Structure 1
Amino acid sequence: SAGLKGNGMLFRADLMQQHEWTAHLTEDIEFHMSLIAAGERVHFAPDAVVWAEMPTTLAGSATQNERWERGRVEMLRRYVPRLLRDCTKALVQGQWGRAYLNFDAALEHLIPPFTMLVGLSLLLTAAATLLFGLSLWLAPTLLPWAVTTLALALFLVLGQTLYVMAGLKLAKAPKSIYKALLHAPAFMFWKLVLYGRVLTGRQQKGWIRTARNEE
């Protein structure tokens, strides 16, 4: 199932009559989960074109991003156990297609955000580099372990870099997008701080409207 991503969604009238649309933090994700539970699939329309205004500054997108991440955490807690139970039940009944559908939806929520994965990889690389230096000068017997750890950390960072660059290449991204990658470290730090607020339950609780650029 392609999932529901906010802008550019189109539904059949009878489908909306059968399923409730909530007003939670991430109502599109929750509606997708209810469709999955009912055995429905969302299909991607590659030829569709959707225009929407997005915040152009970090300050402008703060409330929007925090709402999204809090909603994702809420959906993980609420729906992933149910999806995994339905997956197991479908496997027992031999319904392989439905089992895959539920497992795929659960896996999407279990995979950490890419920003968090990159941040953890960079922290691991820094720690592995420090371990390598200390082993080189103070504990030569630990050097093989330090080299292995550093190599694995660098492999992770290299793999994530290739993942991003390959995606941009396939999408035929303009040069301006590549230049924007220079802001990635600041954005990643900002995002990690936001994740910290979300996971500790600080600040935003309910739905807060995202300010428009002209505001």
Structure 2
Amino acid sequence: MTLAIVAATLLAIPALVFAVECLLGLRPLPPLQMPPCIDAPAFAVIVPAHDEADGIAATVAHIRAQLRSLDYLLVVADNCTDDTADQARLAGARVIERNDLDNVGKGYALAFGCDELAKCPRNVVIIIDADCRIAVGGLQRLALEAAVRRVAIQAAYLMESPPDTNALVAISSFAFRVRNVVRQRGLARLGAAALLQGTGMAFPWSMVSAAPLATDDIVEDLNLGIALLQQGHRIGWSEAVIVSSQPANREATMTQRTRWEHGSTSSAPGNILKLAREALRQRRVDLAILALDLLVPPLALLLVVTIVSCALAGILALLGTGMWPVTILGMVLAALILTVLLAWVAEGQRLLTFNTLLKVPAYVLWKLPIYARLLAARQKTWVRTARK
């Protein structure tokens, strides 16, 4: 009986962490006031691009519209098999090409770009993915926050969802917003470090130039953030800057989610231990809170684990082990469902209707093959997400 209660309590921790973060993140954060009459420092924008010929010109034009004469745009055409480099040059970007099939991955492209920037560095480096758009004025705001706060800054990264989006993709976009906005707000209110999310990231040059970028991690953003925190740096989140992209189609979304979720789930145990050690060594509560955050699996997997645990506890209760375990897990499941509903009210209504939200069970079933492959054939290499 005691063992069953302990097991139920341990299984409940990730869901409780999720619920606390979401409840604290339902309301927007108050805007951070920047010192008046201070211009953004000179910044460079790196756009890593692999086979992005169809959209790179529009991305370059969008970014160039926000640059001043002292700023710099660099497109890294990374192992491209199309004319991405030519299209980016025609659009007015400075372009470098990297061809190294032995070292594949976004991390290597970023390291290559920083090596080029070292010839004429700027105060701040901003990373924008080739399929993303940043709100007008966002580049200068990110550069200013990174310089004034002397930390890495992660912008609010959203997945927009057009009205005709497939229901399962729309729910995926909602789960994306819960992770990238609601829970990031919660972490900020708890005083924890933000999680880097691959795009809309700004770094002081002194930080990024010494960062371990050149890796083949399929979740290079998460692991880069952990490495920076281990070095004693801090990472802030800026709700004042929005970076967005369009969701992929249903099949491509599955590919994208497989990469993200296999990478983050498989790296979580090691990163939790790293953060826990650093929290003790550096005496930083923010790292301890972030370690708890990494206990939380992706939302669909969290629902599956909680439901299955609750069902097993119910079976054990019928066999005479007592009602406490099923009571604990049942309350946690109810809290989890309520939290998801509150997050939908706060942030999800613009993405999907309530009727679409009711298809979450179908979404969970759709995601089950991802988790089955996590056990049997975990993805270990980076795969580009198809844009169409």
Indicate yes or no: 2:281 matched with 1:103: no
User: Residue 37 of structure 1 is aligned with which of 230, 233, 241?
Assistant: 230
Indicate yes or no: 2:270 matched with 1:71: no
Query: For residue 51 of structure 1, what is the amino acid of its counterpart?
Result: S
- Identify if the C-alpha distance between structure 1 residues 15 and 211 changes in structure 2 by more than 3 Å, giving closer, same or farther: same
CA contact (8 A) 2:306 2:333 kept: yes
**Aligned-partner SS, 1:117:** helix
User: Residue 381 of structure 2 is aligned with which of 206, 209, 214?
Assistant: 206
Query: For residue 258 of structure 2, what is the amino acid of its counterpart?
Result: E
Shift of 1:52: 1.1
CA contact (8 A) 1:7 1:52 kept: no
Query: For residue 55 of structure 1, what is the amino acid of its counterpart?
Result: A
Query: For residue 69 of structure 1, what is the amino acid of its counterpart?
Result: E
Shift of 1:71: 1.6
Indicate yes or no: 2:357 matched with 1:181: yes
- The count of aligned residue pairs is 195
- Identify if the C-alpha distance between structure 1 residues 172 and 34 changes in structure 2 by more than 3 Å, giving closer, same or farther: same
Shift of 1:130: 5.6
Kindly report which structure 2 residues correspond to 1:48-59, keeping only aligned pairs within 5 A, or say none. Answer: 48-57=241-250, 59=251
Partners of 2:359 and 2:338 in 1: how far apart?
18
- Identify if the C-alpha distance between structure 1 residues 210 and 8 changes in structure 2 by more than 3 Å, giving closer, same or farther: same
**Aligned-partner SS, 2:208:** helix
- Identify if the C-alpha distance between structure 1 residues 37 and 161 changes in structure 2 by more than 3 Å, giving closer, same or farther: same
Flag structure 1 segments of 5+ consecutive residues without an equivalent. Answer: 91-95
Cα displacement string for residues 110-157 of structure 1 (whole angstroms, at most 9, x for unaligned residues): 23333222212322444456667xx5xxx8xx4x935x5554443222
User: Residue 167 of structure 1 is aligned with which of 343, 358, 365?
Assistant: 343
Partners of 2:332 and 2:280 in 1: how far apart?
32
CA contact (8 A) 2:228 2:234 kept: yes
Indicate yes or no: 2:322 matched with 1:145: yes
- Identify if the C-alpha distance between structure 1 residues 166 and 152 changes in structure 2 by more than 3 Å, giving closer, same or farther: same
Cα displacement string for residues 140-189 of structure 1 (whole angstroms, at most 9, x for unaligned residues): xx4x935x555444322211111111122233723834232122112112
User: Residue 333 of structure 2 is aligned with which of 140, 144, 157?
Assistant: 157
Shift of 1:10: 2.1
CA contact (8 A) 1:37 1:102 kept: no
Query: For residue 179 of structure 1, what is the amino acid of its counterpart?
Result: N
Identity %: 25
What is residue 96 of structure 2 aligned with on the other side?
Answer: none
CA contact (8 A) 2:296 2:302 kept: no
Relative to total residues, which structure has the larger helix share, 1 or 2? 1
Alignment RMSD, CA only?
Answer: 2.7
- Identify if the C-alpha distance between structure 1 residues 13 and 197 changes in structure 2 by more than 3 Å, giving closer, same or farther: same
- Identify if the C-alpha distance between structure 1 residues 157 and 74 changes in structure 2 by more than 3 Å, giving closer, same or farther: closer
User: Residue 10 of structure 1 is aligned with which of 186, 198, 202?
Assistant: 202
Flag structure 2 segments of 5+ consecutive residues without an equivalent. Answer: 1-192
Shift of 1:47: 1.6
CA contact (8 A) 1:76 1:110 kept: yes
What is residue 93 of structure 1 aligned with on the other side?
Answer: none
**Aligned-partner SS, 1:51:** strand
Relative to total residues, which structure has the larger strand share, 1 or 2? 2
Which segment is superposed worse, 169-178 or 15-24? 169-178
Partners of 2:306 and 2:348 in 1: how far apart?
27
- Identify if the C-alpha distance between structure 1 residues 166 and 204 changes in structure 2 by more than 3 Å, giving closer, same or farther: same
Partners of 1:211 and 1:175 in 2: how far apart?
21
**Aligned-partner SS, 1:45:** strand
Partners of 1:86 and 1:189 in 2: how far apart?
37
Partners of 2:381 and 2:248 in 1: how far apart?
20
Indicate yes or no: 2:301 matched with 1:116: yes
